[in-house]
């Protein structure tokens, strides 16, 4: 098999006595969607935070594109191609959808220390941003402030930002949350194609979407990976059924 | 053109009209008042870069204002005494040239802002406010305890410093000089706001995590903004010293820092002409009410309360509506 794009080895994180992440190892390979599922409070978001850099693991290694990144800051990890969407949308609320994406384009192009050229008339920023918005279907909402977008649209916008970053891996934390059935169906189709561009580590509660999309699934319970494998393997795993899938 | 553009033009013309009207009606004192408006507006434009665009509530900008003032005072006093300014390894001749004084003011304030920013920007919220305040108070007490330049009594500038082609002792000429500087800096501010740097700065105020997640480190952006901000306020300080022909440690006191914040809140936080509107109202209220009662600040407080409760966008916000970021 190819080298993993993203690789976690023995990652642990405690908050006081609470072990939020305990010795988690997992890999994300090119072209795949690796779903991370688990009951509420299992530590899925905490794990995403550690990969993205907003939290530091206590022990363990995180490698991205063959290099250790666990010592790097959020901005540096993002520059290396780690694109992220947040569980609770995190956008610049006063900026329009377009300007939110433009910020990503500007980062990719290098320096933000340019003091004179107005961004809104800079085609090298606007055009790629509009393109990313069009890919997620937000082109008609480009000029709407992020704060005035619907819940689902903000999710799409976060993905557009990750696209504009030219991400080499996507960390998507519940991208379907708050979307109607129509929206999540469209997004499922979109993510399915997106994996060809860059692999996706997907945290999701919508099990239909997970089973439809995932190449592999890891199940997290109380901070530990209790099972990892293909969709069928995980579905058949007795421990998973007991801990998570319940009476299904 | 947007409504805000019309409001801005109206404010700019109104400020420009005051001294001419004053001379027309034979009240030359109002020329000085208008000059004071322009200079305080300039100082607040500087702060508005950090506070308005960057969300950095600096309660220590009086330090930069004072540094600008002392740059003017110290260089002018050395020029007057014909004694070089000795800094140990190097020594400079004093000067009466505003251009040189402004350059020195901007450079020294920039270095000071870099130092203060490197430390204070590692914190946020109340801690940032307190650290900037603490640094400003340090410069204030330093100025008080520095007898070479007047200490607590301050330092007089006997003749206003000079600008090529302008007789700065003529009040109207000096006003026009200050007004010109203000307009130039406002144009600079507008460019900064609309640039990539401005986008990153404003986004850092709205959502720091978002900015980091697209790969831009907010700290460096904020530091650059803080330094630029301090430089502009120092330029205003140099002009203020020349207006009064006097500098004293009070330019560095926390009252002054507070006044800059009040100007911005009154006028409109983050708005291009917010500081201009705020300074015009502030100086007018200070003059009109100050003539009637020593407790004019009570009424200023009421006004500020009304703005905070009912007109969050300040004067510019009330006249031009909410900001649209395109």
Residue B311 confidence (pLDDT) above 90: no
A158-170 as b/e, with b when 16 or more CB fall inside 10 Å? bbbbbbbbebbbb
Cβ of B199 and A103 within 8 Å? yes
Mean pLDDT of B195-203: 97
B contact residues 223-242, partner A, Cβ 8 Å cutoff: 224
Q: What is the DSSP letter of B324?
A: -
| Global confidence as pTM | 0.91
Rounded to 5°, angle at Cα B132 from B195 and B138: 135
Please give the pLDDT value at position A1: 59
Low-confidence ranges of chain A (pLDDT < 50): 248
pLDDT classification of B282: cutoffs 50, 70, 90: very high
Residues 6 or more apart in contact with residue B192 via CB below 8 angstroms: A115, B49, B53, B198, B228
Domain B3-320 has CATH 1.10.287: no
Which residues in chain A have Cβ-Cβ distances shorter than 8 Å to B269?
none
Residues 6 or more apart in contact with residue B165 via CB below 8 angstroms: none
Q: In chain B, pLDDT over 90 holds for what percent of residues?
A: 79
Q: Which of A78, A99, A113 sits opposite B213 (nearest CB)?
A: A78
User: Are B118 and B128 contacting, i.e. CB atoms less than 8 angstroms apart?
Assistant: no
B190 touches chain A (CB under 8 A): no
Grouping H, G, I as helix, E, B as strand and the rest as coil, residue B165 is coil
Q: In chain B, pLDDT over 70 holds for what percent of residues?
A: 100
Mean pLDDT of B130-153: 93
Q: Which of B191, B198, B213 sits opposite A84 (nearest CB)?
A: B213
- Test the A interface: residue of B214, B216, B313 with most A CBs within 10 Å: B214
Strands (E), A72-143: 82-85
Task: Give the minimum alpha-carbon distance from A39 to chain B in angstroms, rounded to a whole number.
Answer: 26
B56-90 pLDDT, tens per residue?
A: 999 999 999 999 999 999 999 999 888 888 777 77
Q: How far is CA B279 from CA B48, B150, B193, B232, in A?
A: 12, 29, 21, 16
A169 touches chain B (CB under 8 A): no
Q: Which residues pair with A63 in a beta bridge?
A: A7, A68
B191 touches chain A (CB under 8 A): yes
From CA B204, how far away is CA A64, in angstroms rounded?
A: 26
B213 touches chain A (CB under 8 A): yes
Cβ of B214 and A114 within 8 Å? no
Cβ of A118 and B194 within 8 Å? yes
Q: What is the DSSP letter of A2?
A: P
User: Are B259 and B65 contacting, i.e. CB atoms less than 8 angstroms apart?
Assistant: no
From CA B293, how far away is CA A23, in angstroms rounded?
A: 71
Residue B9, Cβ neighbours under 10 Å: how many? 12
Q: What's the token pair of residue A134?
A: 């069009």
Q: Which of A53, A78, A115 sits opposite B191 (nearest CB)?
A: A115
Quick one: which of B32, B2, B297 has its CA closest to B171?
Answer: B32
A84 touches chain B (CB under 8 A): yes
User: Are A103 and B199 contacting, i.e. CB atoms less than 8 angstroms apart?
Assistant: yes
B145-161 as b/e, with b when 16 or more CB fall inside 10 Å? eeeebbeeebbbbeebb
Please give the pLDDT value at position B220: 95
Please give the pLDDT value at position A248: 46
From CA A191, how far away is CA A196, in angstroms rounded?
A: 9
Q: What's the token pair of residue B250?
A: 């009070």
B15-52 pLDDT, tens per residue?
A: 999 999 999 998 889 999 999 999 999 999 999 999 99
Residues 6 or more apart in contact with residue B2 via CB below 8 angstroms: B320, B324
B233-275 pLDDT, tens per residue?
A: 999 999 999 999 999 999 999 999 999 999 999 999 999 999 9
Cβ of A78 and B214 within 8 Å? yes
- Test the B interface: residue of A84, A92, A112, A122 with most B CBs within 10 Å: A112
């Amino acid at each position: 098999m190819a080298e993993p794009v993203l690789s976690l080895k023995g990652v642990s994180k405690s908050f006081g006595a609470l072990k939020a992440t305990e010795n988690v190892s997992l890999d994300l390979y090119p072209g795949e969607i690796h779903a991370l599922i688990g009951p509420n409070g299992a530590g899925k978001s905490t794990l995403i935070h550690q990969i993205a850099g907003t939290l530091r693991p206590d022990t363990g290694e995180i490698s991205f594109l063959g290099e250790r990144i666990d010592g790097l800051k959020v901005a540096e990890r993002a520059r290396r191609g780690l694109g992220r969407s947040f569980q609770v949308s995190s956008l610049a609320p006063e900026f329009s959808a377009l300007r939110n994406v433009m910020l990503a384009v500007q980062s990719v192009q290098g320096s933000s220390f340019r003091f004179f050229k107005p961004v809104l008339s800079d085609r090298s920023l606007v055009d790629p941003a509009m393109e990313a918005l069009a890919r997620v279907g937000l082109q008609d909402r480009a000029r709407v402030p992020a704060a005035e977008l619907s819940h689902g649209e903000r999710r799409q916008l976060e993905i557009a930002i990750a696209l504009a970053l030219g991400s080499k891996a996507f960390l998507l934390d519940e991208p379907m949350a708050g979307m109607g059935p129509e929206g999540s169906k469209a997004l499922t189709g979109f993510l399915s194609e997106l994996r060809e561009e860059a692999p996706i580590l997907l945290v999701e509660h919508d099990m239909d979407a997970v089973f439809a999309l995932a190449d592999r699934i890891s199940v997290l319970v109380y901070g530990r990976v209790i099972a990892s494998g293909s969709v069928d393997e995980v579905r058949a795993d007795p421990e998973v059924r007991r801990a998570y899938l319940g009476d299904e | 053109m947007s409504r805000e553009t019309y409001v801005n033009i109206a404010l700019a013309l109104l400020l420009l009209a005051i001294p001419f009207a004053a001379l027309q009606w034979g009240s030359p004192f109002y020329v000085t008042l208008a000059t004071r408006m322009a200079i305080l507006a300039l100082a607040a434009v500087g702060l508005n870069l950090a506070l308005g665009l960057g969300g950095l509530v600096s309660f220590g900008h009086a330090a930069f204002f004072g540094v600008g003032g002392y740059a003017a005072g110290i260089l002018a006093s050395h020029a007057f005494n014909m004694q070089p300014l000795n800094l140990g390894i190097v020594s400079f001749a004093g000067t009466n040239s505003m251009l040189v004084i402004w350059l020195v003011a901007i450079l020294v304030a920039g270095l000071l802002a870099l130092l203060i920013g490197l430390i204070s920007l590692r914190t946020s919220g109340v801690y940032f406010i307190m650290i900037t305040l603490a640094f400003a108070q340090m410069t204030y007490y330093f100025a008080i305890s520095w007898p070479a330049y007047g200490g607590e009594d301050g330092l007089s500038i006997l003749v206003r410093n000079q600008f090529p082609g302008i007789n700065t002792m003529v009040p109207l000429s000096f006003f026009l000089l200050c007004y010109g500087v203000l307009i130039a800096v406002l144009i600079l501010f507008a460019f900064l706001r609309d640039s990539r740097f401005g986008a990153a700065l404003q986004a850092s105020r709205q959502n720091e995590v978002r900015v980091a997640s697209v790969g831009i480190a907010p700290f460096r952006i904020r530091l650059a903004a803080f330094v630029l901000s301090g430089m502009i306020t120092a330029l205003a300080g140099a002009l203020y010293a020349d207006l009064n022909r006097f500098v004293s440690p009070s330019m560095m006191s926390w009252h002054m820092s507070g006044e800059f914040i009040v100007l911005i809140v009154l006028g409109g936080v983050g708005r291009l002409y917010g500081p201009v509107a705020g300074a015009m109202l502030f100086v007018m209220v200070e003059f009109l009410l100050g003539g009637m009662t020593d407790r004019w600040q009570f009424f200023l407080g009421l006004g500020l309360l009304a703005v905070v409760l009912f007109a969050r966008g300040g004067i510019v916000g009330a006249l031009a509506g909410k900001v649209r970021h395109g």
